[in-house]
Structure 1
């Protein structure tokens, strides 16, 4: 009888230990889940890796994200955009590789998009509680102005989309709340074709 009691207690202890371990290993859903989007355009693969926060009834641009303050264009970690070949953005040639994407929203007029050549987090440029714009600009591969478009409907989760357009120039669009912000990426198909021809 004693052995049976001991056996029952041991089994229960094992059960509770296993249950506790399972709960410890169980991770709750991330409030800003990770997302990836990619598109082949011409000879170039463009990929964006980001975290997708929700609106959750908040006023996003101008309140949660202050006008004039640079934002990491996502949540949790740097938003990373990657080009498999050289591209041209805003009239500037950008080498293949990974870049962190920052956005500076404005109350009126154009917003600024930054591609950081070091792939740094925006917090790497904090000074006295604010972004050191001078240090940020020093590490930019390219900065350019984009006019935001206001949509009628609010989009709950931040998302990025890449459209192949004419399969030479890609359109990258950020959508969150009622803001749609798009910029073009010239994958330089004609220049690369000319380079191939010159090789023969």
Structure 2
């Protein structure tokens, strides 16, 4: 009898621990968090985003309609961070975090917005869509970018190229489209400032 009770207790403990472990196990995220970082010149450039999959869908023109501003990722805002001041589209931006939004176009250039608030994307949602005018009002800079067609990229991804170690190219690729913008890390200007201190 004692052995039976001990055996039942052991089974109960095994069942309880197995159930607890299964309860803690989470299914993989549909759009997993991703991060890319690159040092260019004196500047660390980082992009934090969620990476949705194509999953057989038509992305640009259907899931993300042309002419409608999109959060450039999934789940939450996509954030780019510069450790020092940089220049994008000929405009100086101080060090800090910026939200990335993209407005795709059926033909011609797309618009890439670097938004100075870096707040939740839902702050710009109106009637279930992103309010482009509200985003534009908070843009630190908006640059035009020509989309390039290429190989299929199943999961949305960002890359940062160091280039000549002065000007970086930040690229978003998803489905068969890649769109890029350049970040001038102002190496020469920073060297001049450094020299001027001595």
TM-score band, normalised by shorter chain: over 0.9
Cα deviation for residue 27 of structure 1 reads 1.4
Alpha-carbon distance in 2 for matches of 1:171, 1:8: 64
Alpha-carbon distance in 2 for matches of 1:65, 1:121: 19
Match of 1:11 in 2: 10
Cα deviation for residue 91 of structure 1 reads 1.0
Cα deviation for residue 121 of structure 1 reads 2.6
Consecutive unaligned residues of structure 2, counting only runs of 5 or more, are none
- Deviating above 3 A after TM superposition, structure 1's stretches of 4 or more consecutive aligned residues are none
| Native 8 Å contact 1:51 1:77 kept in 2 | yes
- Number of residue pairs matched? 198
Alpha-carbon distance in 2 for matches of 1:120, 1:105: 21
Q: Structure 1, residues 130-189: CA drift from partner, whole Å, max 9, x if none?
A: 3222221122111111110111x2111111111111111001111111101011100001
Alpha-carbon distance in 2 for matches of 1:34, 1:159: 11
Q: 2:153 aligns with which of 155, 180, 197?
A: 155
Cα deviation for residue 118 of structure 1 reads 1.2
Match of 1:143 in 2: 142
Match of 1:59 in 2: 58
| Native 8 Å contact 2:116 2:140 kept in 1 | yes
SS in 1 for 2:194: helix
Check if 1:116 corresponds to 2:115: yes
Alpha-carbon distance in 1 for matches of 2:55, 2:129: 25
| Native 8 Å contact 1:168 1:188 kept in 2 | yes
What TM-score, normalized by structure 2, do the two folds share?
A: 0.96
Please give the residue correspondences for 1:46-85 in structure 2 after superposition, counting only pairs within 5 Å: 46-85=45-84
Alpha-carbon distance in 1 for matches of 2:7, 2:99: 57
| Native 8 Å contact 1:72 1:121 kept in 2 | no
Consecutive unaligned residues of structure 1, counting only runs of 5 or more, are none
